[in-house]
Amino acid sequence: MNFLQFSADQDPGANFGELLKRVGLSPFASVPQSILEDMPHATTCVAVRCSDGVVMGGDRRATSGNLISHRGMEKVVQADDFSGVAIAGAAGPAMEMVKLFQLQIEHYEKVEGQSLSLEGKANQLSMFVRNNLPAAMQGLMVVPIFAGYDNDINQGRIWDYDATGGRYEERDFVATGSGQLHASTVLRVSWRRDITTQQAVELVSRALWEASDADSATGGPDLLRGIYPIVATITHTGFTRIDDTALAGIYNAITTGVQQR
Amino acid sequence: MSMPYYVSPEQMMKDRADFARKGIARGRSLVAMQYQEGIAVIAENPSNTLRKISEIYDRIAFAGVGKYNEFDQLRVLGVRAADLKGYQFSREDVDARGLANQYAQMIGQVFTHEVKPLEVEILIAELGKSAETDQLFHVMFDGTVLDERRFIVIGGDPESITQHIAQSFSAAQSLQECILLARSALSPSEAPLTAGDLEVAVLQRNANRRCFKRITETQLATFLD
């Protein structure tokens, strides 16, 4: 462990990303074209606003070309007590971005003595996505969704991003990744303004199911191995991941429904 | 021809130590001690915004007495070093001992080489997996590191407070007992300190990852009733 001291104009303040740059550890560097074809990619993620906050969900599959490279990837991650990130895109840079984002939020909170506002966190993530632009131009695109419970206005909020760091707050719901079209169609048809948290959990599971049914790069519930998509709620009590037994029940109902079509 | 006046090294060190000691003695004391579920840090601090106790990492807390701007700078250095180490290696690799040594080296360097020594004393507490592996480090103004057991008192008038606490300390005490004990030790004889005069934070053993929690003034008031 070494203490680093900076002159006033070089001091990174509470910015962990800048601190990494000063010590030459920044992960945002350009990558040669040749290794890009076979990188694992992550796929469908959704976020839905509901009466008590937001519900986020994401499938577990990562693919490299036409191969399944990973069956248990966690694409929906808790960012801090009241927010979460879901990521679609190149798995390596995406996971690194999430790790760095979690750290940035914590680092800021510790250095400044209070945590960033939800809007501030959304903005910070936007900067990370923008920093990744050179890599995105070479094919390592990372497109996250950020969602959280805003304690100042007592409601859930959702943001999605484009590869240039563009940040768009969504009112109702959002989907990202290769199964985005199928998932967002399900959401568009069934979303209601007064949807409860439980209904939203079911709706998110449904959207992920339909996406996995039509998109080969999105994984459905893997009953054989007991791997279910990740679904999490964020309300005034914080971030809670729905456990697998509850999800097994929901997916059981969905598959039974599909059989009886 | 004028003669450069000579000051013996002994005298110089003594002057510096006296200077730092005086600065620190002007401030108020703080106490860290083990309780049933972890480590509590209790400071006399009427300010609600300028903190003496703060979080460094998942299981490490920092507290300082003396000049606020000086120990606050040290705090930020610690957070940076810890976050960088955790990012570069693993979260488990960040420990209080490494941090305390680094602080000692830096504070010692300033004490011998700079014009003015730092007028601070700091405390670094690390919550172990069990009470036996808890660690409390005390770094003094000249860079001396002390490794303490059970409880630690820094700043102000530590001798009488240490005596007071040693009389009734027990590692099995509840948080309330621990806060009451610290209050009676820190309070001047005339009037006991109120919730508004104290700053309390704990490292809680049963917490998930980040064990550092501040006790709010309202919570504190219920403990002191």
Helices H / strands E in chain B, number of each: 6, 10
Contact indicator for B179, B148 with CB cutoff of 8 Å:
no
Contact indicator for A15, A22 with CB cutoff of 8 Å:
no
Q: Which amino acid is at B40?
A: A
User: Does A141 have pLDDT greater than 90?
Assistant: no
Query: What's the pLDDT at B6?
Result: 87
Grade residue A30 by pLDDT with cuts at 50, 70 and 90: low
Structural domain contains residue B16: no
Tokens of A17: 């990303």
A163 to chain B nearest CA, in Å? 25
pLDDT tens-place string over residues A103-126: 999 999 999 988 899 999 999 999
Question: Under an 8 Å CB criterion, which residues of A touch B?
Answer: 1-5, 16, 19-20, 23, 25, 99-100, 103, 106-107, 110-111, 113
Query: What's the pLDDT at B1?
Result: 65
Alpha carbon distance A103, B11 (integer Å): 47
Structural domain contains residue B4: no
Structure-token match 């290794």, residue found:
A35
pLDDT tens-place string over residues B57-67: 999 999 999 99
Q: Which chain B residues contact residue A16 at CB under 8 A?
A: 83
- Judge: A113–B54 Cβ closer than 8 Å, yes or no: yes
B213 to chain A nearest CA, in Å? 12
User: Does A42 have pLDDT greater than 80?
Assistant: no
Average pLDDT, chain A: 90
Grade residue A33 by pLDDT with cuts at 50, 70 and 90: low
Q: With 0-12 CB in 10 A as exposed, 13-18 as middle and 19+ as buried, what is B71? A: buried
pLDDT tens-place string over residues A198-249: 999 999 999 999 999 999 899 999 989 999 999 999 999 999 999 999 999 9
B55 to chain A nearest CA, in Å? 6
Query: What's the pLDDT at A204?
Result: 97
In sign, the C-alpha dihedral spanning B125, B128, B134, B137 is: negative
Note the residue count of chain A.
261
CB nearest B81 (choices: A3, A106, A113)? A3
Q: Which CATH code fits A41-259?
A: 3.60.20.10
DSSP A8: G
Grade residue A31 by pLDDT with cuts at 50, 70 and 90: low
- Judge: A106–B83 Cβ closer than 8 Å, yes or no: yes
The pTM for the full model equals: 0.83
Query: What's the pLDDT at B208?
Result: 83
CA dihedral B208, B209, B210, B215 (to 10 degrees): 10
For B210, which residue in chain A has the nearest alpha carbon?
A106
Query: What's the pLDDT at A146?
Result: 96
Q: Which amino acid is at A184?
A: S
Q: How far is CA B135 from the centre of its chain?
A: 12
Structural domain contains residue B10: no
B163 to chain A nearest CA, in Å? 33
- Which residues have a Cβ under 8 Å from the Cβ of A116 and sit 6 or more positions away? A105, A108, A109, A124
CB nearest B83 (choices: A5, A103, A113)? A103
Q: Say how many domains are in chain B.
A: 1
Alpha carbon distance B165, B174 (integer Å): 15
CA dihedral A233, A238, A244, A245 (to 10 degrees): -90
- Judge: B83–A23 Cβ closer than 8 Å, yes or no: no
Alpha carbon distance A231, A240 (integer Å): 9
Q: Show the beta-strand stretches assigned E in chain A.
A: 41-42, 45-50, 53-58, 62-64, 67-70, 76-80, 83-90, 142-150, 155-161, 167-170, 173-176, 230-235, 238-241
Residue B127 structural domain:
27-224
Alpha carbon distance B148, A32 (integer Å): 53
Structural domain contains residue B21: no
Query: What's the pLDDT at A238?
Result: 94
Strand A53-58: give its sheet, edge to edge. A173-176, A45-50, A53-58, A230-235, A238-241
Q: Which H or E run contains B202?
A: strand B198-204
Please check whether residue B224 touches A, CB under 8 A.
no
DSSP line for A111-142? HHSSPPPHHHHHHHHHHHHHHTHHHHHTT--E
Contact indicator for B123, B137 with CB cutoff of 8 Å:
yes
- Judge: A4–B210 Cβ closer than 8 Å, yes or no: no
- Judge: A2–B102 Cβ closer than 8 Å, yes or no: yes
Query: What's the pLDDT at A40?
Result: 58
Structural domain contains residue B22: no
Please check whether residue B79 touches A, CB under 8 A.
yes
Q: Which chain A residues contact residue B71 at CB under 8 A?
A: none
**What is residue A55's three-state secondary structure?**
strand
From first to last of its 225 residues, chain B has per-residue pLDDT tens of: 677 788 898 998 899 999 999 988 888 899 999 999 999 999 999 898 899 999 999 999 999 999 999 999 999 999 999 999 999 999 999 999 999 999 999 999 999 999 899 999 999 999 999 999 999 999 999 999 999 999 999 988 888 899 999 998 988 899 999 999 999 999 877 788 889 999 999 999 988 899 999 999 999 999 988
Tokens of A10: 């070089």
Q: Which residues of A are catalytic?
A: 43
Alpha carbon distance B65, B166 (integer Å): 21
Query: What's the pLDDT at A114?
Result: 87
pLDDT tens-place string over residues B64-77: 999 999 999 999 99
Q: Which of A253, A212, A254 is nearest to A229 (CA)?
A: A212
CB nearest B81 (choices: A1, A99, A111)? A1
Q: What CATH number corresponds to the domain at position B134?
A: 3.60.20.10
Please check whether residue B183 touches A, CB under 8 A.
no
